[in-house]
């Protein structure tokens, strides 16, 4: 929630507003910048993957309606640990815009 969508190394990512983690929208892969050699100036960095960290779902829009097809993979993903009651109550507080009269 409230994460910015930005492009890193040609890939669209959501950026965690708390930790600044970068997660690719297409694969759920965690990205970070590694340092080539910290003793050499100027410091050169390159993008690396932490592997898949977040489950992704297919989203489509048809005639103004949004449809989400849930990922049915049974393979565990690191972010699954947060899908427990303690964390779900926070994410279920969905706000809807107030219509103007």
Bridge partners, 34 (sequence order): 46
> Does residue 37 form part of some domain?
yes
Please give the pLDDT value at position 99: 55
> Does residue 99 form part of some domain?
no
Total tally of structural domains belonging to the chain: 1
Please give the pLDDT value at position 6: 96
- E strand or H helix at 25, and its extent? none
> Does residue 98 form part of some domain?
no
* Three-class secondary structure of residue 79 per DSSP: helix
User: Which positions of the chain have pLDDT values less than 70?
Assistant: 1, 84-101
- Per the CB < 8 A criterion, the answer to whether 15 and 32 are in contact is no
Strands, E assignment, 1-101: 4-8, 11-15, 22-24, 29-35, 45-52, 58-62, 65-69
Please give the pLDDT value at position 89: 55
Q: pTM for the whole thing?
A: 0.71
CATH of the domain at 83: 2.102.10.10
Give the ranges where 1-101 is alpha helix by DSSP (H): 85-91
């Amino acid at each position: 929630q409230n994460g910015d969508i930005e492009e890193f190394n040609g890939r669209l990512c959501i950026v965690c507003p708390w930790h600044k983690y970068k997660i690719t929208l297409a694969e759920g892969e965690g990205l970070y910048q590694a340092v080539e050699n910290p003793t050499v100036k100027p410091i050169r960095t390159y993008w690396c993957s932490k592997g898949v960290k977040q489950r992704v779902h297919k989203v489509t829009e048809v005639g103004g309606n949004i449809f989400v097809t849930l990922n049915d993979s049974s393979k565990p993903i690191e972010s699954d640990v947060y899908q427990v009651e303690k964390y779900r109550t926070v994410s279920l507080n969905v706000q809807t815009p107030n219509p103007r009269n």
